[in-house]
């Protein structure tokens, strides 16, 4: 009871101290447009980045939280996993590409609610971000939500300038925020970004420690010792030395604790935490927390959650039942030898090798009368459905060469450790091992033997010679011998580089599909989905796979996925009924029908109602269309008049061809003379240093272009190129060229072209 009272008093004091800080908000944008930025929940994966300029922020200080403004039509989508990074840059736009997350600071990585209707979504950052000026970068990501919604889950946005924002979306490929994509479909570069409110405090608390990052291995073997590094930041005005850092598991169980190291105000320090996992195998999570009793800001005390996986102890120990000595493995009594054997799954299970593993080393057990250093040895590994070798050798070119080097064999009883040069991904099944002793100049005594077992009949083959080179790709069947002897061999497995593939399989109604077959194009690796439509395949060697999902009554779906080292990848599938039909087509501009309109919405209404977005070339496919029905089809995109038509689907798929959209502001604006109000065209300030605003007024809708030229007549940058309605407008120039580089001081000219109207004005840039 006393502990609870003390906690309440502490919180009360924190609230009192927090009121001494000056808090203020800055909102950028008017929100006069709707779009799926910064988080595109129409798709499973999205990545967005934009810039906010100093003249928009007009302040500096700690950004404690960020507010976006959503307008979701219904409650089908209530929460989502999001990530946010912040940083600064001297780039004035994103023409040259993304600013990767490795150059930014991770400030949020959690799941939050997005209520239906019009709402303000305020996100309290895990770590306050100190903004001191320059252009502010915000990167936002949805890293793979299990569901997506066909409704327009929009945020209030606006378009200011050009090329200040990039976005990416996909239902199949998760963008790497450290190396964002620059090519492919579903990419755009524009001046549109979400209405955003930044919540600042202009002063630090006296006592405020926070955790910037938790780093270390995310794949660990139970019983081994690991070190994770926690970066602690001092955001207060007072130095701190009396604090501790704790590591917790997924169930908030304390795993380890260490005393803090003195850290000055405004500084960071790295605190190592060494600990030994003692838990059950499988997926889990850990997080770190800094404990400072006088901390005035508890929002940044906890690190982001780190996903981890715990593996059982490696193989590596062999206690042979009734061992026998035998020289067949590497027969030193001859100048060359070749040996092959099959290890059944029951043998491997005795070393905790069940299912897929990555084998990185071997151990043999010798008892030699001679000391034989640096002998050449080759070893191959592979898998087979055979249970013996009575049908002949399994050739080396059907196996993987894992070792080709020198091995020392000391006299006496020893463990011969061989660290393989190439790790072997073992997917399960019977394991084949071939060992070659290439032709040597000498032979040795017959008592140089290895510890072996007696196994099934014909489980091994061997060949020896003093005169003839034995070719592992074509061993001499006539001189080889079959036996039931195989060597005691320990297989060393490492888990740090293997990955996992997991995900969900749904139908077009977002319902899980049970017992769907998930097949990889590699060594017959497959699994099926459970009652919730989920699947998981572990112990995958890093690389790119083709994954095919099939289920009775559905069309097969194949996707490509890349498995990085020691990471888990989420790959979801949406299957469509094989019995139903599809409607295809392309949304194009009516004036130039060869140009498709990307991200237009195409919907059908009838026996089924469905809506899809066009790809980067304007093409669309609507699945699950019921045959022998009539439908209304509609295509629309902002700035165009909608296209409406009807279609009857009988017993075959339907291709609608082109669906043309017309501009709703002017059908032939390129041939018109714009009515420029009093022909006013000016900029302010002039001269300028940071940026200047070019203002103009349009009375007749028209295609308008504003370009910047240097004194040589060379174009520096295009500030605007597009159709506008009547009204007053401004175009901002920040003194950069179209590559984002800052141009030199001097005289420049801006030229405005609107229909047949054209005017040029001088502007001076001073640095």
SS3 318: coil
Q: What share of the chain is helix, strand, coil (3-state, %, to 5)?
A: 5, 55, 40
pLDDT greater than 60 at residue 269: yes
Per-residue pLDDT, 656: 94
Same fold, 209-311 and 669-765: yes
Give the sign of the dihedral formed by CA 529, CA 534, CA 537, CA 543. Answer: positive
**Phi, psi (degrees; rounded to nearest 5) at 103:** -100, 5
Query: Which segment, 63-67, 345-349, 495-499, 659-663, is predicted with the most confidence on average?
Result: 63-67
Is the pLDDT score of 9 beyond 60? no
Region 589-600: mean pLDDT is 87
Any idea which fold 669-765 has? Immunoglobulin-like (2.60.40)
Q: Are strands 306-311 and 219-221 parallel, antiparallel or unpaired?
A: parallel
For residue 552, is pLDDT > 50? yes
| pLDDT tens digits, 493-520 | 765 456 788 899 998 777 899 989 999 8
pTM assigned to the model: 0.36
Q: Which residue reads 């390129």 in tokens? A: 670
Do 219 and 286 form a contact (C-beta atoms < 8 A)? no
Q: What is the pLDDT of residue 410?
A: 93
Both tokens of residue 754?
A: 């609107």
Q: Tell me the HSE value of 634 on the side-chain side, using a 13 A CA sphere.
A: 13
Do 737 and 744 meet the contact criterion of CB atoms below 8 Å apart?
no
d(CA 182, CA 522): 29
User: In this predicted model, what pLDDT tens digit does every residue of 11-46 receive, in sequence order?
Assistant: 333 333 333 445 678 999 999 999 999 998 888 888
**Phi, psi at 429, each rounded to 5°:** 95, -170
Instruction: Report the 10 Å Cβ neighbour count for 601.
Output: 19
Pairing of strands 61-72, 117-131: antiparallel
Before 687, cis peptide (omega within 30)? yes
Per-residue burial over 30-64, b = 16 or more CB atoms within 10 Å of its CB, e = otherwise: ebebebbbbbbbbbbbbbbbbbbbbebbeeebbbb
Provide the β-strand partners of residue 156: 34
pLDDT tens-digit series, residues 358-377 = 788 888 989 999 999 999 99
Element (DSSP H or E) covering residue 10: helix 2-18
Question: HSE-up of 156 (CA within 13 Å, CB side)?
Answer: 19
Q: Which CATH class is domain 209-311?
A: mainly beta
Residue-level pLDDT at 84: 94
3-class secondary-structure state, position 710: strand
Domain 499-575 adopts which CATH fold?
Answer: Immunoglobulin-like (2.60.40)
pLDDT in tens, 609-648: 888 889 889 999 988 888 888 999 999 887 788 899 999 9
Higher pLDDT: 2 or 145? It is 145
Mean pLDDT of the chain: 83
- The pLDDT of residue 21 is 45
* Cβ atoms within 10 Å of 97's Cβ, excluding its own: 14
pLDDT tens sequence across 386-432: 999 999 999 999 998 999 999 999 999 888 989 888 778 787 789 99
Q: How many CB atoms lie within 10 A of CB 481?
A: 11
Q: Which CATH architecture has domain 581-663?
A: Sandwich (2.60)
**Strand spans (E) along 499-542:** 499-507, 517-520, 526-528, 534-540
Cis peptide bond N-terminal to 304, omega within 30? no
Distance CA 676, CA 687 (A): 24
477, β-bridge pairs: none
Task: Show Cβ contacts of residue 376 under 8 Å, excluding neighbours closer than 6 positions.
Answer: 405, 406, 407, 437, 438, 440
Of residues 640 and 2, the one with the higher pLDDT is: 640
Long-range contacts of the stretch 289-293 (C-beta < 8 A, 24+): 289/211, 289/245, 289/246, 289/248, 290/209, 290/210, 290/211, 290/230, 290/232, 290/243, 290/244, 290/245, 290/260, 291/243, 291/244, 291/245, 291/246, 292/207, 292/209, 292/240, 292/242, 292/243, 293/243
Q: Report the sign of the C-alpha dihedral through residues 570, 86, 26, 165, in that order.
A: negative
Interatomic CA distance for residues 308 and 280, integer angstroms: 12
Tell me the two tokens of residue 620: 């669309």
Confidence of residue 752 (pLDDT cuts 50, 70, 90): confident
Classify domain 23-201 at the CATH class level: mainly beta
Question: For 18, phi and psi rounded to 5 degrees?
Answer: -65, -30
Q: Under 8 Å CB-to-CB from 701, ≥6 apart: which residues?
A: 665, 666, 669, 723, 724, 725, 726
> What is the side-by-side strand order in the sheet with 306-311?
219-221, 306-311, 282-291, 244-249, 254-259
Q: Find out whether 232 and 212 touch, Cβ atoms under 8 Å.
A: yes
Give the C-alpha separation, 233 to 127, whole Å: 9
Give the number of residues written for the chain: 767
Q: What is the largest CA-CA distance in the chain?
A: 108
Write the DSSP symbol of residue 102.
Answer: G
3-state SS, one letter per residue, for 597-666: CCCCEEEEECCCCEEEECCCCCEEEEEEECCCEEEEEEEECCCEECEEEEEEECCCCEEEEEEEEEECCC
Point out the least confidently predicted range of 264-278, 310-324, 533-547: 310-324
DSSP state of 5: H
What is the average pLDDT across 130-144? 85
Per-domain residue ranges for the chain? 23-201, 209-311, 324-493, 499-575, 581-663, 669-765
């Amino acid at each position: 009871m006393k502990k609870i009272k003390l906690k309440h008093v502490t919180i009360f004091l924190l609230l009192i101290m927090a009121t001494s800080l000056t808090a203020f908000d800055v909102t950028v944008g008017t929100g006069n447009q709707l779009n799926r930025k910064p988080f595109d929940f129409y798709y499973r994966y999205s990545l967005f980045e934009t810039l906010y300029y100093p003249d928009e922020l007009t302040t500096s200080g700690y950004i404690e939280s960020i507010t976006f403004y959503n307008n979701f039509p219904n409650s089908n989508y209530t929460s989502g996993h999001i990530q946010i990074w912040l940083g600064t840059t001297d780039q004035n736009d994103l023409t040259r590409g993304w600013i990767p997350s490795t150059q930014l600071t991770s400030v949020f990585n959690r799941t939050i609610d997005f209520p239906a209707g019009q709402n303000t979504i305020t996100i309290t950052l895990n770590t306050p971000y100190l903004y001191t000026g320059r252009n502010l970068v915000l990167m936002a990501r949805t890293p793979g939500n299990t569901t997506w919604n066909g409704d327009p889950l929009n945020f209030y946005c606006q378009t200011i300038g050009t090329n200040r924002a990039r976005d990416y979306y996909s239902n199949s490929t998760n963008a790497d925020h450290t190396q964002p994509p620059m090519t492919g479909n579903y990419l755009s570069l524009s001046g549109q970004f979400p209405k955003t409110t930044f919540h600042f405090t202009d002063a630090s608390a006296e006592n405020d420690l926070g955790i910037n990052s938790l780093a270390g291995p995310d794949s660990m073997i139970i019983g081994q010792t690991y070190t994770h590094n926690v970066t602690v930041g001092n955001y207060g005005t007072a130095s701190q030395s009396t604090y501790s850092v704790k590591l917790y598991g997924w169930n908030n169980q304390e795993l380890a604790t260490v005393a803090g190291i003195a850290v000055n105000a405004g500084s960071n320090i790295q605190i190592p935490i060494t600990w030994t996992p003692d838990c059950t195998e499988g997926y889990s999570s850990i997080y770190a927390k800094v404990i400072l009793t006088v901390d005035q800001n508890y929002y940044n005390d906890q690190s982001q959650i780190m996903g981890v996986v715990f593996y059982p102890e490696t193989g590596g120990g062999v206690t042979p039942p009734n061992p026998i000595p035998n020289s067949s493995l590497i027969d030193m009594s001859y100048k060359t030898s070749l040996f092959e054997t099959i290890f059944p799954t029951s043998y491997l299970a005795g070393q905790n090798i069940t299912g897929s593993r990555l084998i990185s080393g071997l151990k043999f057990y010798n008892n030699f009368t001679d000391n034989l250093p640096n002998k050449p040895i080759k070893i191959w590994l592979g898998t087979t459905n055979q249970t013996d070798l009575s049908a002949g050798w399994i050739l080396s070119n059907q196996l993987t060469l894992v070792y080709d080097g020198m091995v020392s064999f000391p006299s006496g009883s020893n463990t011969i450790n061989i660290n393989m040069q190439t790790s072997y991904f073992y997917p399960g099944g019977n394991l084949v091992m071939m060992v070659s002793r290439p032709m040597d100049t000498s032979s040795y005594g017959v008592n140089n033997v290895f510890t072996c077992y007696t196994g099934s009949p014909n489980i091994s083959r061997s060949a020896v010679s003093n005169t003839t080179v034995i070719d592992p790709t074509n061993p001499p069947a006539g001189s080889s011998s079959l036996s039931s002897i195989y060597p005691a061999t320990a297989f060393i497995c490492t888990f740090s580089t293997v990955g996992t593939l997991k995900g969900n399989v749904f139908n077009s109604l977002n319902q899980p599909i049970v017992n769907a077959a998930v097949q990889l194009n590699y060594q017959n690796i497959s699994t099926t989905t459970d009652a919730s439509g989920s699947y998981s395949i572990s112990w995958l060697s890093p690389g790119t796979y083709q994954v095919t999902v099939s289920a009775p009554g559905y069309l097969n779906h194949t996707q490509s996925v890349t498995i990085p080292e020691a990471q888990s990848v989420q790959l979801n599938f949406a299957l469509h009924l094989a019995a139903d039909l599809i409607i295809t087509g392309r949304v194009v501009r009516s004036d130039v029908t060869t140009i498709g309109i990307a991200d237009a919405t195409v919907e059908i209404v009838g026996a089924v109602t469905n809506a899809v977005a066009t790809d980067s070339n304007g093409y669309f496919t609507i699945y699950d269309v019921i045959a022998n029905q009539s439908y209304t089809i509609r295509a629309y995109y902002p700035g165009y008049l909608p296209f409406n038509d009807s279609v009857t689907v009988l017993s075959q798929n339907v291709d609608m061809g082109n669906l043309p959209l017309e501009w709703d502001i002017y059908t032939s604006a390129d041939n018109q003379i714009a009515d420029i109000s009093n022909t006013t065209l000016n900029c302010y300030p002039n001269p300028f240093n940071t940026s200047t605003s070019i203002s103009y007024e349009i009375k007749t809708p028209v295609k308008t272009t504003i370009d910047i030229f240097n004194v040589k007549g060379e174009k520096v940058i295009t500030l605007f190129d597009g159709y506008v309605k009547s009204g007053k407008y401004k175009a901002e120039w920040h003194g950069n060229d179209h590559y984002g580089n800052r141009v030199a001081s001097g005289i420049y000219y801006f030229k405005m072209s609107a229909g047949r109207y054209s005017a040029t004005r001088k502007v001076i840039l001073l640095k």
